[in-house]
Amino acid sequence: MSETQTSLMNQQLDALLYDETNLVANLANASALINDTYTDLNWAGFYLYNSATDSLDLGPFQGKVACMHIKVGAGVVGTAFADQQIHRVANVHEFPGHIACDSASNAEIVVPLTKNGHKIGVMDIDSPLLDRFTAENEAELAEFAKILVQHID
């Protein structure tokens, strides 16, 4: 995917969320769109920052039941939120502090969500396949996150 070309999935996201600002509704459909578009996933969803507890709370997702709260700085999710960087992990078992919510997960990508400097949370996608996520996937998901936050108040 080139820098200038918006993928079909990202065009679909923009259309799907048109005129809708409800956070839960938008995140629920965003997780369903990723799960329908990407092959070989076992989990796709969101963790939202809770400033009262300084942790990330489980949000809308597709997949098996998952960890409800993740401390900032813990696992791939908490690390991506803490450093505000995308983490594309080929083998989660080699990631220090990886949190094994689902033992089927082998690869993971976590994308921070921010809007106007406000840290909303992260998007987390897991796969049973080692090295599942490519640099192209990362670019597409970074753009996906940008479109998504445009639809969040």
Where along the sequence are the contacts to ligand SME (CB under 6 A)? Answer: 43, 66-67, 70, 75-77, 98-99, 101-102, 105, 108, 124, 126
The closest alpha carbon to 17, from 9, 8, 26, 4, belongs to: 26
Least distance from ligand SME to the Cβ atom of residue 138, Å: 17
For residue 62, give the amino acid letter.
Q
Residue 14, CA atoms < 13 Å, CB-side half-sphere: 10
Amino acid (1-letter code) at residue 125: I
Closer CB to ligand SME, 44 or 147, in the complex = 44
User: How do beta strands 107-115 and 87-89 pair?
Assistant: antiparallel
Q: Which is nearer to ligand SME, 76 or 141 (CB)?
A: 76
In whole angstroms, give the CA distance from residue 39 to residue 148: 21
Q: How far is the CB of 75 from ligand SME (least distance, A)?
A: 3
Nearer to ligand SME, 29 or 42 (CB): 42
Token pair 């796969």: residue: 127
Nearer Cβ to ligand SME, position 76 or 120?
76
CA-to-CA distance for 67 and 60, rounded, in angstroms?
12
Measured from the CB of residue 105, what is the shortest distance to ligand SME in angstroms?
5
CB of 82 to ligand SME, least distance (A): 11
